[in-house]
């Protein structure tokens, strides 16, 4: 049994969402739709899901999109996405410049209360846990401090064979994937490290300053680093940068584990999820990517 529920729509074209059962009333912009109680309650949720899908299509790597790009990213029909984009611009959810759309400045006013009073680690820990669960290995964040790198957050693997790392542990900057990332976006510290003398920890440690400088330059160009056995024999890591509100380097998001489970070829297949987690971390703390070029791996 169908019930008749009056629904007022701002745009007469919205009647296409009701399907062939919609009938227009005599009042402009108003329609009487035939739908079940379940359909009536579900319709607003469907619209919200479409709006959420549109917002999710924007990223730090792609802050501006055309209508066609939003359509391709969301799979929403052309007429529907066109209508939703227009409405979102009208409400300040999106801004429009020519034929390009971007998340509206008004969203910043809504985002600010969401992170007010929250420590960065509270925001980043869920990202680490999701990455740990996705890849099965330890996920952590390192920051530079006094020419060293310090682990500030950790989601440890649930596997028995693991490389034990603790929050607060201090490690050299010239070895490992995290060290490479911290040097790549911190040139002043990098220069100090190059001149300080590079001590060997394993037979894979880079001890020549010119070679390390070249490896750091490659990390900056790629947007990530993968290393094996530089700090500890038989251990691998993959790392990507997290940026802060002023586009400064906040830290290095890193996945680490035994080289037995993380040979280079496996690490290479993890670049995309690690970069995605690094971007999510950057967004979570209100950060932004630095200007002046973006590694192609982030696009």
Are the C-beta atoms of 222 and 214 separated by less than 8 Å? no
- Whether pTM exceeds 0.75: no
* Position 214 pLDDT exceeds 60: yes
Q: What is the mean pLDDT of residues 44-66?
A: 86
Are the C-beta atoms of 249 and 185 separated by less than 8 Å? yes
Residue-range domains of the chain with CATH: 1-35 (no CATH), 47-115 (1.10.10.10), 117-298 (3.30.450.40)
* Position 201 pLDDT exceeds 80: yes
With tokens 């649930």, the residue in question is 158
Are the C-beta atoms of 95 and 101 separated by less than 8 Å? yes
The alpha carbon torsion through 199, 260, 181, 275 (nearest 10 deg) reads 180
* Position 10 pLDDT exceeds 90: no
Query: Following DSSP, what letter does each residue of 206-252 receive, concatenated?
Result: ---HHHHHHHHHHHHHHT-EEEESSSSTTEEEEEEEEE-TTS-EEEE
Cα separation, 87 vs 107, in Å, equals 15
* Position 114 pLDDT exceeds 80: no
In DSSP terms, 243 is beta-bridged to 249
pLDDT for res 36: 46
Rg of the Cα trace of the chain? Answer: 24
pLDDT for res 112: 58
Q: Which residue has the higher pLDDT, 60 or 207?
A: 207
pLDDT for res 113: 63
Average pLDDT, the chain: 83
Indicate the length of the chain as a whole number.
299
Give per-residue pLDDT as tens, 135-166: 999 999 999 998 999 999 999 999 988 777 88
* Position 277 pLDDT exceeds 50: yes
The helix, strand and coil proportions of the chain, stated in percent and rounded to the nearest 5, come to 45, 20, 35
Q: Which residue has the higher pLDDT, 275 or 108?
A: 275
Query: Following DSSP, what letter does each residue of 109-153 receive, concatenated?
Result: HHHHHHHTT--HHHHHHHHHHHHHHHHSSEEEEEEEETTEEEEEE
Give per-residue pLDDT as tens, 62-91: 889 999 999 999 999 999 999 999 999 998
* Position 192 pLDDT exceeds 60: yes
């Amino acid at each position: 049994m169908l019930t008749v529920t009056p629904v007022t729509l701002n745009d007469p074209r919205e009647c296409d969402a009701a399907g062939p059962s919609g009938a227009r009333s005599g009042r402009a912009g108003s329609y009487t739709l035939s739908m079940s109680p379940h359909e009536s309650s579900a319709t607003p949720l469907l619209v919200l899901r479409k709006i959420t899908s549109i917002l999710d299509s924007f990223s730090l790597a792609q802050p501006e999109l055309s209508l066609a790009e939003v359509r391709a990213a969301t799979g929403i029909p052309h007429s529907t996405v066109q209508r939703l984009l227009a409405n979102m611009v009208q409400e300040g959810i999106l801004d429009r410049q020519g034929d390009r759309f971007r998340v509206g400045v008004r969203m910043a006013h809504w985002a600010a209360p969401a992170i007010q009073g929250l420590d960065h680690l509270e925001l980043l820990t869920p990202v680490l846990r999701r990455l740990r669960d996705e890849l099965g290995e330890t996920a952590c964040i390192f920051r530079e401090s006094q020419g060293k790198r310090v682990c500030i957050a950790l989601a440890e693997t649930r596997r028995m064979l693991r490389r034990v790392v603790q929050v607060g542990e201090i490690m050299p900057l010239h070895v490992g994937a995290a060290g490479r990332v911290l040097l790549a976006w911190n040139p002043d510290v990098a220069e100090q490290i190059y001149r300080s003398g590079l001590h060997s920890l394993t037979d894979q440690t880079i001890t020549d300053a010119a070679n390390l400088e070249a490896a750091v330059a490659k990390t900056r160009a790629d947007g990530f680093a993968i290393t094996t056995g530089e700090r500890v024999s038989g251990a691998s890591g993959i790392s990507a940068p997290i940026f802060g509100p002023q586009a400064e380097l906040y830290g290095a998001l890193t996945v680490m584990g035994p080289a037995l489970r993380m040979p280079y070829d496996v690490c290479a297949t993890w670049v995309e999820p690690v970069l995605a987690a690094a971007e999510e971390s950057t967004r979570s703390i209100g950060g932004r990517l630095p200007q002046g070029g973006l590694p192609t791996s982030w696009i």
